[in-house]
Homo-oligomer: A and B are copies of this chain.
Amino acid sequence: MATKIKIICVGKTSEPFVREGIKLYEQRIKHFTGIQIVELPDVKAGSVQNKLYVKEKEMLAVSKHINPEDTLILLDENGTTYNSLEFASFIEKHTSTSRSLVFIIGGAYGFSELLYQKAKHKLSLSKLTYTHQLVRVIFLEQLYRAFTIIRNIPYHNQ
């Protein structure tokens, strides 16, 4: 079964080096699977600075890119932490059982309750807090690494 992977990020990629890193790993992942990266604009709170409002508006934009058959996985600081081999097993399992994997990298205020309810899994990359920009590159590199582990291609532990 050919699985498509979609990564939805809240906030445009503003750092040029992050954009380059995303491009690099996106191209490498394309050798293994279909991948689409959706970047949604930040919601500007203006002078109101209402976090709940910003979060809900961001999540409304995210929900437009989600279909009922998608397996949703949130990148969340309270999620499960895996090592790279465990993460590869996670990817292998889900690419063999789901036609569409959707990973969501939230904005500064996190996810809505509705999205938490809909999501099948929560993943955490580290106990450390990364920028929402850098997370994209780190996650894509892990995804690429996972496919090299699954396919037994020399890359991991080289």
Q: State whether the Cβ of A129 lies closer than 8 Å to any Cβ in chain B.
A: yes
Task: Indicate the size class of the contact surface on chain A.
Answer: 20 to 34
Chain B's closest residue to A133 (CB) is B141
Choose the segment among A66-74, A80-88, A114-122 that binds chain B (4+ C-beta atoms closer than 8 Å).
Answer: A80-88
18 new A-B contacts at CB < 8 Å, known A21-B134, A87-B128, A108-B157: A15-B21, A17-B21, A18-B21, A20-B20, A82-B128, A83-B128, A84-B128, A84-B129, A108-B158, A126-B128, A128-B138, A129-B145, A129-B156, A129-B157, A130-B138, A130-B141, A134-B137, A134-B141
Instruction: List 5 contacting pairs A-B, 8 Å CB cutoff, sorted by A.
Output: A17-B18, A82-B128, A126-B127, A129-B145, A131-B141
